[in-house]
């Protein structure tokens, strides 16, 4: 629970206190919202498009939709012998239909991701050429990397070993599971066998991520307004419990990350981050999948909510509830 700060430099918030509840399941959260037990949550695309359109709901709640500040990605363990060759990583991206994910998982409420900076930000490089969906290109790249023969199950084999790996993701996120399942089918079409493993979050971090005990992970990053990505991509941040857990190391990217965070000159920063995006698009340490839309819903009792590029929370201190509608 958060109490209003009487001394806040922009003025005391209008609402006396906020109570945050941790509800891991989105369906349960939605039932609590409809019952009036919570006033604000993020909807899933299914909830937004199919379960919240009737007049009974829209008279009680206000929905918002805008591009989020985060992206979903498939990250390759670069210490693993299977993913040391960038042609393999490029082939994985070429075999994945990102638009299919946007339509099938997000119901069209999102856009394809091309790199670590989401569209609309000043540091986003619109000229980066993403690897297009092209299964034939994937097959060619895999063949160039030595994966040419298939076994009786249609799986590529090299030196007697099949091309197989596991996508690891966290429990309780239906979008990630659905994305992994669609990708599993697409990669099978080019001769790659994918398994999916779902792990509880604390175990996921402690036993797998921190120890580098994975082949491929499916996760999301939420990004700040500033494009500094030092902690995720710098080679000094590859130790246990740090954020460059895939083990990415590139001297030019290291130099550009330091350069970008070391000046206030917006044009110099832009040049650094534009170049970083070009390098990552070529090396594909991640397959950047999609940027989902943010889909918050707020009780209509709460007034003063104003959507902005940064989201709806930017003016939260100005939110208020008329006295005759206060229930707590």
* Angstrom distance (rounded) from CA 256 to CA 325: 53
46/166 same-domain check: no
Within this chain, do residues 103 and 183 fall inside the same structural domain, yes or no?
A: yes
Where does the pLDDT of residue 110 fall: very low under 50, low under 70, confident under 90, or very high at 90 and above?
very high
In this structure, the answer to whether residues 225 and 78 fall within a common structural domain is: yes
Burial of 142: CB neighbours in 10 Å, binned 0-12, 13-18, 19+: buried
**Residue in 231, 223, 228, 224 with CA at minimum distance from that of residue 270:** 228
Residue 302 pLDDT class (50, 70, 90 cuts): very high
Locate the DSSP E strands across 29-129: 40-42, 61-63, 66-67, 70-76, 110-112
Nearest-angstrom CA–CA distance, 302 and 317: 12
pLDDT confidence tier of residue 243, bands split at 50, 70 and 90: very high
Instruction: Give all strands of the β-sheet with 149-150 in edge-to-edge order.
Output: 149-150, 156-158, 161-162
Q: Are residues 208 and 150 in the same domain?
A: yes
Residues 6+ apart with CB under 8 A from 227: 117, 121, 122, 123, 260, 269, 273
| Structure confidence by residue, pLDDT tens digits, 311-324 | 899 999 999 999 89
pLDDT average, residue stretch 27-32: 91
Pairwise CA distance, residues 255 & 309, whole Å: 30
Structural domain span for residue 7: 2-65+295-325
pLDDT of amino acid 122: 95
What integer best gives the mean pLDDT of the chain?
95
Task: Give the pTM.
Answer: 0.92
CATH number of the CATH domain containing 214: 3.10.105.10
Q: 326 pLDDT band (50/70/90 cuts)?
A: confident
- Checking if the pLDDT of 327 tops 90, the result is no
| Residues 190 and 240 grouped into a single domain | yes
Which three-class secondary structure state does DSSP give residue 216?
A: strand
- pLDDT for res 27: 85
Residues in the chain: 328
* pLDDT more than 70, % of the chain: 100
| CATH code where residue 7 lies | 3.40.190.10
174 close to 25: Cβ distance less than 8 angstroms: no
The pair of structure tokens assigned to 328 is 């707590």
pLDDT of residue 175: 92
Q: Kindly state whether residues 43 and 137 are assigned to the same domain.
A: no
Distance CA 44, CA 46 (A): 5
Q: Judge if 152 and 60 occupy the same domain.
A: no
pLDDT, residue 328, reads 75
Query: How many other CB atoms are found less than 10 A from the CB of residue 209?
Result: 22
pLDDT digits (tens, 9 = 90+) for 6-15: 999 999 999 9
Residue 56: partners with Cβ closer than 8 Å, 6 or more residues away = none
What pLDDT is recorded for position 259? 97
How many folded domains does the chain comprise? 2
**Residues 315 and 263 reside in one and the same domain:** no
User: Residue 309 above 90 pLDDT?
Assistant: no
Cα gap 53→318, rounded to integer Å: 27
Same domain flag for 270 and 174: yes
Taking residues 64-84, report their average pLDDT.
96
d(CA 112, CA 291): 6
Amino acid 40: pLDDT:
96
Q: What is the mean pLDDT of residues 163-174?
A: 94
Residue 123's nearest CA partner among 12, 24, 265 is 265
CA atoms within 13 A on the CB side of 301: 15
Q: 243, 231 in Cβ contact below 8 A?
A: yes
| pLDDT at 308 exceeding the cut of 90 | no
Q: What does the alpha-carbon distance between residue 249 and residue 261 come to, in Å, rounded to a whole number?
A: 18
Mean of the pLDDT values across residues 127-152? 96
Same domain, 183 and 306: no
Q: 291 forms bridges with which residues in the sheet?
A: 111
Residue 76 has pLDDT above 80, yes or no: yes
Average of per-residue pLDDT across 269-293: 98
Average pLDDT over residues 24-45: 91
Phi/psi for 315 (5° steps) reads: -120, 35
Please, are residues 167 and 214 in contact by the beta-carbon 8 Å criterion? no
Does residue 25 carry a pLDDT above 90? no
For residues 84 and 224, membership in a common domain is answered with yes
Instruction: Note the helical H segments in the chain.
Output: 26-34, 45-46, 55-58, 86-94, 98-106, 135-144, 174-188, 201-203, 230-233, 251-261, 266-283
- Would you say residue 22 has pLDDT above 90? no
Same-domain status, 79 and 44:
no
* Least-confidence region, from 25-39, 99-113, 232-246, 257-271: 25-39
User: By C-alpha distance, which of 210, 194, 176, 167 is closest to 70?
Assistant: 176
pLDDT value of position 286:
98
């Amino acid at each position: 629970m958060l109490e209003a700060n009487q001394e806040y430099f922009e003025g005391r918030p209008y609402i006396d206190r906020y109570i945050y509840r941790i509800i891991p399941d989105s369906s349960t959260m939605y039932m609590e919202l409809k019952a009036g037990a919570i006033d604000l949550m993020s909807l899933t695309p299914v909830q937004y498009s199919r379960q919240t359109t009737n007049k009974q709901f829209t008279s009680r709640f206000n929905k918002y939709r805008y591009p989020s500040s985060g992206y979903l990605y498939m990250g390759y363990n670069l210490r693993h012998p299977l993913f040391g060759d960038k042609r393999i990583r490029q082939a994985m991206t070429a075999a994945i239909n990102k638009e299919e994910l946007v339509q099938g998982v997000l119901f069209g409420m999102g856009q394809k991701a091309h790199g670590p900076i989401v569209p609309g930000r000043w540091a986003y490089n619109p000229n980066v050429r993403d690897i297009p969906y092209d299964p034939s290109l994937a097959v060619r790249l895999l063949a160039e990397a030595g994966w040419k023969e298939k076994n009786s199950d249609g799986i590529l084999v090299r030196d007697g070993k099949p091309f197989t790996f596991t996508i690891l993701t966290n429990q309780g996120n239906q979008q990630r599971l659905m994305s992994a399942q669609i990708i599993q089918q697409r990669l099978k079409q080019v001769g790659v066998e994918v398994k999916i493993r779902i792990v509880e979050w604390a175990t996921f971090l402690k036993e797998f991520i921190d120890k580098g005990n994975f082949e491929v992970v499916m996760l999301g990053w939420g990004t700040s307004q500033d494009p500094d990505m030092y902690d995720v991509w710098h080679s000094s941040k590859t130790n246990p419990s740090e954020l460059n857990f895939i083990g990415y190391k590139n001297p030019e990217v290291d130099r550009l990350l330091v350069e970008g965070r070391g000046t206030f000159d917006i044009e110099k920063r832009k040049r650094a981050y534009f170049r970083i995006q070009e390098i990552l698009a070529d090396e594909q340490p991640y397959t950047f999948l999609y940027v989902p839309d943010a889909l918050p819903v707020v009780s209509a009792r709460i007034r003063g909510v104003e959507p902005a590029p940064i989201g709806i929370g930017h003016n939260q201190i100005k939110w208020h509830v008329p006295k005759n509608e206060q229930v707590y």
